[in-house]
Structure 1
Amino acid sequence: MDGLNVSDVNLQVQLHPSRSNNVHKAVLRELSSLLLRFNEKFQGVVLAYEFNIDKVPDILPSMHPYLYVRLKAKLLLFSPKPDMLLEGKVVKVRQESIHVIILGFSSAIITDKDIREEFQYKTKHGKDLFVSRSHKRHVIKAGTMIRLLVKR
């Protein structure tokens, strides 16, 4: 799928000395805090990671003697760019917008000004939907899989 890429990175994780008895677990905890959040450094949302510790951690003498662990990691990133096509599942339809979930975690909203002119909003049997004026069987409703173009 477009928008997904694997990135090899060199990281340095700072750990409190109380975590020195199980460095691997402490690194896992730190990296898990990156998951499913947009990260400016990586220019995307971290979906998964895999890592190897390069060097046994050193305690650097200072006022705060933290452990600095160097590691190499592979990160699976979701970073959609403008003019990219994505697929998502419609979760809600309103007269002024269509709400879509992409990859099961990322939310997108298509506003009424971005919905193609051929679609007309209707309520049928208590359900909100958009119906194509040219193809009556072409319907967008909750549960429909759609392709959308990323604007920003």
Structure 2
Amino acid sequence: MAAAAMEGIRHSEAKLTVYVHPSNADDVRRAVARQLNTLLFSYEDRFDGVLLAHEFQVEGTKAKLMDGLVPYFGVPVHANMLMFSPQPGMILEGKVEMLGKESIHAIVLGVFSAAIMSDDIADRFRFKRKRGGGKFISKSDRGHEIKRGSMIRFSVKRVDTEMNCHITGSLVPPHTGSMLWLSVHDAKYASEINSGKSKSRDVDIKIEQSVHDHTTVNNEDTVTNSERPRKSRKRNDDAN
């Protein structure tokens, strides 16, 4: 079954200059990729998101002397990036990893943790304890249940960037709950799935490639500088 496109994922472009140590001159592309890959799945406040994947093209090299260092050479790079930028009010999808009467804990995109506390679990659900765990069951339809392993849709309440994009969610808004149940019984969600705008939930993320935009990174053998992306999502000043 196809799934509607999840909010919070965006594409961005950036012009970067990656400074490579002379010892890596024989394989510049590999040196650039290794440095950029260290930046995967880390939140960067300066571009308001987490880098999920990237592709890049090396546009040439130029010698550049950096103060206090041996002569690094700069590698101009044009990067296409896949970013994750969740904001309050967005609808996300996640897999339930653990739940109890007071909370539901899920994983988004296989990486980011999300917690839905009891106050944010709609009154339409009740918790039923069972041996080895429990599950939430809708009071109006026993077929609508959320248990460990369930895929759920939920609304974002808060995002803690200090904890690398930890998400606090809610199941109170409409069109949230078990994705399996919603796909059959929720007209809006079913329409999204069946429309031409829908796409597979399984995103082909190239973990071996990565790019960080609008930041400077230092480590023992490379330094990355970048310009602000030419295409990026406008920050929602009201979403705090």
TM-score by length of 2: 0.59
Instruction: For 2:66 and 2:91, locate their aligned partners in 1 and report how far apart those are by CA, in whole Å.
Output: 51
Secondary structure of 1:142's counterpart equals coil
Name which structure has the greater RCO, CA cutoff 8 Å, separation 6+: 2
Instruction: Within 5 Å, give how 1:2-151 maps onto structure 2.
Output: 2-60=7-65, 62-64=67-69, 65-151=71-157
How far the C-alpha of 1:122 sits from its partner, in A, is 1.9
Instruction: For 2:111 and 2:66, locate their aligned partners in 1 and report how far apart those are by CA, in whole Å.
Output: 42
Number of equivalent positions: 152
| Deviations, residues 73-104 of structure 1 (Å, cap 9, x unaligned) | 00011111211111111111122210111122
Unaligned runs of 5+ in 2: 159-240
Which has the larger strand fraction? Answer: 1
| Deviations, residues 17-49 of structure 1 (Å, cap 9, x unaligned) | 222221111100011011111122332111111
Instruction: For 2:20 and 2:46, locate their aligned partners in 1 and report how far apart those are by CA, in whole Å.
Output: 20
The amino acid of 1:13's aligned partner reads V
Compute the RMSD of aligned alpha carbons.
Answer: 1.6
| Deviations, residues 36-81 of structure 1 (Å, cap 9, x unaligned) | 1112233211111111112213132643122222211000111112
Runs of 4+ in 1 over 6 A off after TM superposition: none
Instruction: For 1:12 and 1:40, locate their aligned partners in 2 and report how far apart those are by CA, in whole Å.
Output: 20
| Deviations, residues 107-152 of structure 1 (Å, cap 9, x unaligned) | 1111111111222222123322112222222211001111100112
TM-score by length of 1: 0.91
Are the structure 2 counterparts of residues 61 and 46 from structure 1 closer, same or farther at C-alpha, using a change threshold of 3 Å?
Answer: closer
Instruction: For 1:110 and 1:87, locate their aligned partners in 2 and report how far apart those are by CA, in whole Å.
Output: 12
Instruction: For 1:7 and 1:134, locate their aligned partners in 2 and report how far apart those are by CA, in whole Å.
Output: 43
Which has the larger helix fraction? Answer: 2
Identity %: 43
Instruction: For 1:28 and 1:57, locate their aligned partners in 2 and report how far apart those are by CA, in whole Å.
Output: 18
The amino acid of 2:35's aligned partner reads E
Highest Rg: 1 or 2?
1
Unaligned runs of 5+ in 1: none
The amino acid of 1:18's aligned partner reads S
